[in-house]
């Protein structure tokens, strides 16, 4: 129930295309869903995050779509650029009492070809 399943494991997209990464969860107590971006040799950095009271959040070229009933959420990268090539992690958190678990998916390695 604590798992977050992420797909695909790797993704190759042409410059200007749309990159889509999907995540699914089981624990309905999760109430915060961030996406982190990691470049080689660096720590992850927050990209965008959503709470389940909204179905979509957009920041620039990055959009999270959230489907509460299906327990799924996805990251869409519009007009993908070579600089977006990185590993992306979805995550889920349950804020209840003294719990502080942040559960990550296994990651998606995105390569954007020029």
Partner 1 sequence: EAQVTQNPRYLITVTGKKLTVTCSQNMNHEYMSWYRQDPGLGLRQIYYSMNVEVTDKGDVPEGYKVSRKEKRNFPLILESPSPNQTSLYFCASSLRFPYNEQFFGPGTRLTVL
Which among 42, 45, 25 is positioned nearest to 103, based on CA atoms?
A: 25
Residue 60 in contact with partner 1, rule: CB under 8 A: no
In the block, which residue shows the tokens 């992306």? 88
- Is residue 45 a contact point for partner 1 (CB under 8 A)? yes
Q: Which of 40, 60, 83, 100 binds partner 1 (CB under 8 A)?
A: 100
* Residue among 53, 70, 83, 98 that touches partner 1 (CB under 8 A): 98
Subset of 13-42 contacting partner 1 (CB under 8 A): 32, 34, 42
Give, in order, the Cα–Cα distances in Å from 101 to each of 5, 15, 57, 75, 94.
16, 36, 23, 21, 7
Beta strand 108-113 pairing with 10-14: parallel
Interface size with partner 1, residues (CB under 8 A) = 27
Among 27, 52, 93, 111, binds partner 1 (CB under 8 A): 93
CA distance 35 to 44: 9
Q: Does the footprint of partner 1 cover residue 105 (CB under 8 A)? A: yes
Instruction: Give whichever of 37 and 63 is closer to partner 1, judged by the CB atom.
Output: 37
Q: Summarize as ranges the residues that interact with partner 1 (CB under 8 A).
A: 2, 6, 9, 32, 34, 42-46, 49, 51, 89, 91, 93-95, 98-107
């Amino acid at each position: 129930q604590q798992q977050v399943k992420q797909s695909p494991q790797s993704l190759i997209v042409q410059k200007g295309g749309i990159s889509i990464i999907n995540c699914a969860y089981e624990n309905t107590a999760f109430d915060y869903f961030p996406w982190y971006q990691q470049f080689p040799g660096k720590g992850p950095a927050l990209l965008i995050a959503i709470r389940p009271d909204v179905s979509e959040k957009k920041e620039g070229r990055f959009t999270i779509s959230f489907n509460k009933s299906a327990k799924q959420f996805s990251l869409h990268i519009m007009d993908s650029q070579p600089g977006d090539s990185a590993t992306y992690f979805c995550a889920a958190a349950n804020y209840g009492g003294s719990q502080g678990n942040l559960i990550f998916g296994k990651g998606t390695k995105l390569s954007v070809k020029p």
